[in-house]
Amino acid sequence: MAEHSESGAKDQPQPGAAANTMWGGRFKAGPDAVMAAINASIGFDRRFYGEDIAGSRAHAAMLAARGIISEADGAAIDAGLAQILAEIESGEFVFSEALEDIHMNIEARLGEIAGEAAGRLHTGRSRNDQVATDCKLWVRKTIDATDAALAALMRALVAQAEAGAGMVMPGFTHLQTAQPVTWGHHMLAYVEMFNRDRGRFADCRARLNECPLGAAALAGTSFPIDRQMTASALGFERPAANSIDAVSDRDFVLEFLAAATICAGHLSRFAEELVIWSSVQFGFVRLSDRFTTGSSIMPQKRNPDAAELVRAKVGRIAGALVALVLVMKGLPLAFAKDMQEDKEPLFDAADSLALALAAMAGMVGDMAPDAGRLRAAAGSGFSTATDLADWLVRVLGMPFREAHRVTGRIVALAEAEGCDLAGLALDKMQAIEPGLTAAVHDVLSVEASAASRVSYGGTAPVRVREQVARWREELA
């Protein structure tokens, strides 16, 4: 707040303003309306109400156990906080922007309920360690929900993989037909990706699980608090070891957003495939009515809007990560009000990811692959050329580079003849490589090609079913 010393209006409050009763002892006038608007966070940090009340109840119990406040005051605070929790969850609680944030809104209401005892709750803590604790509790809860959503999506993918373990489809590189693969193998590729996402979120959870409460503003407190007690009560592994770092750390938010961005990228890649596959031109898969929309003018349309919106969510989530990186990059230790800007991007990214995961799980659960279209496409583009080259190496002992050259000539001939490799007459192939025999046709079908890829991690149906069994056990 500016002090208008030159005008002599230093001590004059702005019209309609009043000093904030929570921190107004130092100030004679209330904040300017613009200051109040830019400073207030209750419009979004009210989402922390459950975490804020849990942290305050743990702190009050610790203060009473240590004799810093009386047991009677501790009981009054706890009962008051329980009442406030019920009021918020029932919709009766009235949030005030004049009280800035969730902490002060709850504290003010506690004063109305518990009287003088409420004023003792803030002993040995600051809003700095309070908000850091709230945020960690919220991110931890959100990680747990995200993990459950990822597991649900993975189960839907495993179900698709099991049903299509032997269903051949084209495998692509550069979006060009490469080699035949199985539908189940393709589905399991995303299972692996989303499992890595679970690992990243788990790593983030493990690192964030240190309790800032008791770090106070930045230097700790002179009161004989028991930080291990509050940490344990809130489910943290330990108290944060450095009070300055405890209040200035937002690495856990950045790490959550980074993991969310990678996960959203995986969702976007799959969504892109669903958009392509569900087109009339591809026809690989049909999405259900539950996850498609129509057109206001073209009655024949089935638009993959859910997939398109999932594809777009990565922009918002990655934007949240970049926004917070830029907020944090130049901040000196310890706490600065800039850090208030962590919450809105965090909340938006978490909401966007949760919605995208739910939509993708729904689409995967409902989608129906067209086995005939997939099989036909699997044989396009001379997809079994590598199988021919491998046969030349395995049966004729030809160096692979030479086999590659010979196969290329045979492919060119088949293209000129207007047929696939399996349909090319043996004598025409022998004109290029006399050592070829009729046995070569055994490897040129798309089913034979897929079934031959039996190396660990390969597309062969037998390997797919092994992986399905493994994932069913892990996701049980």
Q: Which residues are catalytic?
A: 174, 295
Amino acid symbol at 434: P
**What is the helix (H) or strand (E) element at residue 169, kind and residue range?**
strand 168-173
- Which tokens in the block code for residue 148? 């459950």
Instruction: Indicate the pairing of strand 176-182 with strand 210-211.
Output: unpaired
Rg (alpha carbons) of the chain, rounded to whole number? 31
Beta-ladder partners of 182: 168
Q: Which of 388, 424, 366, 445 is nearest to 153 (CA)?
A: 366
Q: Helix 49-65 vs helix 127-163: angle between axes, to the nearest 10 degrees?
A: 130
CB 111 within 8 A of CB 119: yes
Beta-ladder partners of 303: 293
Residue with tokens 């060119």: 412
Residue with tokens 């969310």: 260
- What is the C-alpha separation between 152 and 440, in angstroms, rounded? 44
- What is the C-alpha separation between 177 and 168, in angstroms, rounded? 13
Amino acid symbol at 132: A
CA–CA distances in Å: residue 476 to residues 60, 378, 470, 473:
40, 33, 10, 5
- What is the C-alpha separation between 435 and 317, in angstroms, rounded? 57
Residue with tokens 């989530």: 317
In the three-class reduction of DSSP (H, G, I as helix; E, B as strand; rest coil), residue 293 is classed as strand
Instruction: Indicate the pairing of strand 210-211 with strand 238-239.
Output: parallel
Residue 98 CB-half CA count within 13 A: 11
Q: What angle do CA 356, 362, 367 make, to 5 degrees?
A: 120
Residue with tokens 């690192």: 207
- Which tokens in the block code for residue 285? 């898969």
CB 134 within 8 A of CB 55: yes
Amino acid symbol at 66: R
Alpha helices by DSSP H, listed for 210-298, are: 227-233, 243-248, 251-277
CB 60 within 8 A of CB 74: yes
**What is the helix (H) or strand (E) element at residue 178, kind and residue range?**
strand 176-182
Alpha helices by DSSP H, listed for 99-180, are: 102-114, 127-163
